[in-house]
Chains A and B, each alone.
Chain A
Amino acid sequence: MLKQIEGSRAVAEAVALCRPEVICAYPISPQTHIVEALGGIVAGGELAPCEFINVESEFAAMSVAIGASAAGARAYTATASQGLLYMAEALFNASGLGLPIVMTVANRAIGAPINIWNDHTDAMSQRDCGWIQLFAENNQEALDLHILAFRLAEELSLPVMVCMDGFILTHAYERVDVPSQQQVDAYLPRFNPRQILDPAEPVSIGAMVGPEAFMEVRYLAHAKQMQALELIARWAQEFRSTFGRDAGGLVRAYRTEDADTVVVALGSVIGTAKDTIDELRRGGAKIGLLGISCFRPWPLQAIAEALTNAGRVVVIEKSLGVGVGGIVSANVRTALSRRTVPVYGVIAGLGGRPITKASLARVFAQAMADELDLTTFLDLDRALVDKVLLKEKELRRSGPLPENVLRELHGVSTR
């Protein structure tokens, strides 16, 4: 059924259609509307049986999800930013124990300095915690990916994180097609756990494993994610035949057939980039885009194949590995390690800075002329940075960096 609703509402409706039996909720912007809407759905009796548990922290949210999942319940939670960091230890437990929890991450920057706006630093900080990570391009895909995520998680017995851009998607009203309960039931079978805590047949989960077997356990976790690459591609096809539209998969190409320059991106910036590419194409530029739907496991082979004919690659990413550069760019380079192709990493949109078509067009043009550095910061205020650096040089007790930047920008002191 077509609806004009908020992204958060769309995700809540999709999650409810998946019939979770336990939902753990702890509020943090910009995720809060999702669990609020789910709370309303549960309280209204539309989703039963389901236990909606208000927990006291994100650490508790993930811990309760772990307990629920281990007891054989389909479990869901959502978080963002510092909340994701606070549950970091439990994230490794969920994946290490092979528990098929589904979680939305409404992507948001990480402090300090505190910032509530969107970027991908939160999800990227947990990229190696053993969870599958899917990224949504728009709200239709955010909705669809949750249905796909439960299927994937339970088939593989692995937890799945569905990442959607905070505010940009979670708070945007746009058209979505919400599937029927019958369609979702047909796609998503009842949860049949690989392991279950049952008082009638007691087992222990989470034993200590020593040096004699730890490596093998970790290897199996890796092998399982590699195996997931095949299944993710297959289930995206199955999703298409059930629901009549594309969702998920590993990567998706846009106008790359004859492209010399291929832009690689993930999340909602793909939409703005596609519009920019259409405009550049009207001017004769041979440029296309490769959207990454699945970031973990890393679809190395699919990316290498999709970029076979690219003469250069521009990665637009909303995250920064401090001291390294782009995180996605570094991953893309691994897929091209047998070739000598320039991979330009463009860090963009940190802390909610708008990524405009004009800025993208400019940076794509620079890339096409091979005039970009290997790491670039889109729309960086270089003069502001230089002023702060100069002050630091002049004064030993120069004070905290964030406040110094604000002082130079606004001309006011926070003292």
Chain B
Amino acid sequence: MFQVRIHGRGGQGVVTAAELLSIAAFREGRFAQAFPSFGSERTGAPVVAFCRLDDKEIRVREPIMQPDALIIQDPTLLHQVDVFAGLSPGAFILINTTRTFAELGLDDFVQKFRTCTVPATELALKHVGRPVPNAALLGGFASLTQRISLDSVAAAIREKFSGKVAEGNVAAAAAAFSHAQAD
């Protein structure tokens, strides 16, 4: 089983990101379970969502406490929430930021992890016209973890959204994928 925890703020599409990831995995014939952390949802408040991927039926319903991959949609959470809780060496960390891990003061900390940064908010503004980094980050996630294809991410986005919103997010995901490949 591969477990993903997504941290962000209300309004950034954290729950939608987990759902999109589960749809992408489903389209690849796998089992996936996405669920939110069920808080009272308010714009700007810290939000967590989870996604499990597996080749067999997923029965467990506990929150993900030891993720194999982390997606951090908002770097301001680094000083507010223990986003790295339960992370084992070798886990993936993807952060939405224009800065480097050194600039974030994390270069020592992230040595034992597999990491990547993506300017997902900027990519979303460019391609979608709104600061919603979730779909773009899934492009980065596809590149970093190789657990899902960019095509499946695009298909999931088109399943959940339509028209310009869908195509803008697909373009943002593709741009983030390329950025992560070059990273």
Contact = CB atoms under 8 A, between A and B. Distances in A.
Contact of A4 (B26, B60, B62, B65): B26
Interface string B53-89: 0000011111101000000000000000000000000
Contacts of B38: 30, 116-118, 167-168, 171, 352
Nearest to A137: B59
A315 to B, nearest CB: 18
Interface in A157-206: 167-168, 171-175
A357 interface: yes
B32 A4 contact: yes
Contacts of A2: 26
B63 A275 contact: no
Contacts of A268: 61
A269 interface: yes
| Best-buried of A2, A174, A357 by chain B (most CB within 10 Å) | A174
Interface SS of chain B: mixed
Given A6-B19, A116-B40, A355 B61 contact: yes
A136 to B, nearest CB: 12
B81 to A, nearest CB: 16
Contact of B60 (A171, A173, A271, A352): A271
A173 B33 contact: yes
Contacts of A357: 60, 62
A117 B38 CA distance: 7
Nearest to B18: A173
A393 B47 CA distance: 39
Nearest to A360: B62
A353 B77 CA distance: 23
Contacts of B18: 173
Contacts of A286: none
Interface of A: 2, 4, 6, 30, 116-118, 138, 167-168, 171-175, 268-272, 274-275, 352, 354-357
Interface of B: 18-19, 22-23, 26-27, 31-36, 38, 40, 58-63, 65
Given A173-B18, A175-B32, 4 more contacts: A172-B35, A175-B26, A272-B61, A355-B62
